[in-house]
Every structure is written in C-alpha cells, then in structure tokens.
Amino acid sequence: MAEIKSIGIIGAGQMGHGIAHVAALAGYDVVLNDVAADRLEAAMATIRRNMVRQANRGLIEHDAIEPAVARIGHATDMAALAGVDLAIEAATENAEVKKAIFRDLCAVVSPQTLLATNTSSISITRLAASTDRPERFIGLHFMNPVPMMRLVEVIRGLATNEDTYQAAVGVVNRMEKTIANAEDFPAFIVNRILIPMINEAVYTLYEGVGTVESIDKAMRLGANHPMGPLELADFIDLDTILSIMQVLNEGLADTKYRPCPLLVKYVEAGWLGRKTSRGFYDYRGETPVPTR
C-alpha cells in the first residue's frame, strides 16, 4: 500500500482550501493549486483565519497554526503537483471540467500518484475512466465546511483497487474524520437525501405553501434542523444544488428528482446564495432579508 506523505489539491475554493486546512493540520505537506492567483491568496488568508478561530475555541493548539500553514504551498501551475503522493480534485461540480483537470493532472504526476475527486454527485467510475489509472482513483466527498464537519464519504469506482481504498481510508483517519462508505450511485448518500429535500422546500416556496421565512422557521423549529432548507441552500450555493439535482434526474430517470423551476430561475438570474450576496435571502445589508 502506498504511503501518503504529500497531498495536492486542485481548486482553492471553499472545499479546496478546507481540505488543505485539515490535511496540513494532520501533518501532510500540501500543494494547493488554482488557475487564479488571487483565489490562492484569499484561500491562504482564510485558512489562517479559520485556524485561529479553531484555536480560540480550544479545538486545536495555538502553536499548531504556524507549522500547519507553513506546510501549505500554493501555485497556479499544475506542474507544482508533480511530486505529490495523492491529488484531490475539488473544482466546480461539472463533469467535463473535472475530466479536463484529470487529463492535465495525469500528464504531470507520477504513475504511482493516487487520484481522488471531491465530487458530491458525479460518477466516480466515469471520472476514473477519463484518467490513465482508474484502479488508483477514488471518491473522497468531504462535507462543507471541511474543518468543522466530521464526515467523509468514501466511494469506490468500478475499477478502484483495494490498495487505493486502504490508502484513502488511512488519509481520512489521519485527518480525524469519520468514514461513510457509499456505492457509486448518483449523489451517493448525503446528497441523495439532502438535496431533494432542499429542492422540495423550493417547490413549497414556488407553489406558495409558505414564504422563505415560514419554510425555514418550520423546519428549524418543527424538525429541529440547525438551518432552514432555504438558508442551507444559500450556504451550499444554488448552482451546486441545481447541478446535483440534474445529475440525480439524469442518472435515476425519476420525476421526483426534477429540479424546481424556481431554483432554475434563481440560478439563471445569478442569485446563487451567499457567494453572490443574493439567493433566497439578500445578504447585502446588515441582516439577511428574504427575497421572496
């Protein structure tokens, strides 16, 4: 079984910098890669800020911060990942984008490098088939926000071998995360259940059964959810939710997975949630205000 000492992460967005954060705290040498230099700089600042927040809450030691940050290198050139033992793709939830990344990645990494994807819904087998090493390919679906959420779904593709699986399990355990093994079906476990629930909440809004405020209040107080489904949708990003619903709809061919037209409309408007300051809530003022 391959010993993992260094990890490359492609994509410096919310998921990518979160994975870099926990990998560095676990003692791995990390290379964070993104095509945008400003995104890398922002990611490094966020990692440090989040580590300080964890230390202030007593979740990590203050003296662990600087060594962990020092273990994270960053680069816009994918060639910087040439020496890593494991490369984790954490780009946008789009199969063609991910396949293109893996094609470029396979050209620069060692034949022994293990490949993983943080996809939340796309077939691991299909992504693996776009590489030169489907047997050394696996799904590692971290939850958002990565530093706080304990779960990682581990998904084997049809060709994933046992050594790759055991190496991935070792990495997840060293990061002090809990594993849920999932089969390679659309959206795996968490999003197979969660995202249709959010889509149904959007239908409830679309059909006028309740307002944004009443739907979220009902689920917080009536089902004891920490966040209402529409507030959670804004946190996840509405374009990501739509992509997952489309994967479920296409992959399972069941009308219950049809994306709500109102969700489609919000995405078309560019109201994608917190990241664009507007979604089911408007975040441009001091307090969020429902947009419907």
CA–CA dist 248, 242 (Å, integer): 10
Catalytic residue among 74, 141, 199, 231: 141
- Hey, is 280 helix, strand or coil? coil
Reported as type and span, the H/E element at residue 131 is none
* 141 counts as catalytic: yes
* 153 counts as catalytic: yes
Catalytic residue among 33, 153, 199, 231: 153
Beta carbons within 8 Å of 24's beta carbon, 6+ residues apart: 30, 47, 68, 69, 71, 72
CA–CA dist 66, 14 (Å, integer): 21
Which bin fits 84, alpha (ψ -120 to 50), beta or left (φ > 0)? beta
CA–CA dist 172, 168 (Å, integer): 6
CA–CA dist 283, 255 (Å, integer): 33
Catalytic residue among 118, 120, 121, 243: 120
Closest Cα partner for 90 from 161, 183, 23, 28? 23
Angle at 188 between CA 279 and CA 113, to 5 degrees: 105
The identity of residue 213, as a single letter, is E
Beta carbons within 8 Å of 36's beta carbon, 6+ residues apart: 12, 76
Catalytic residue among 6, 121, 123, 191: 191
| Active-site residue list | 120, 141, 153, 191
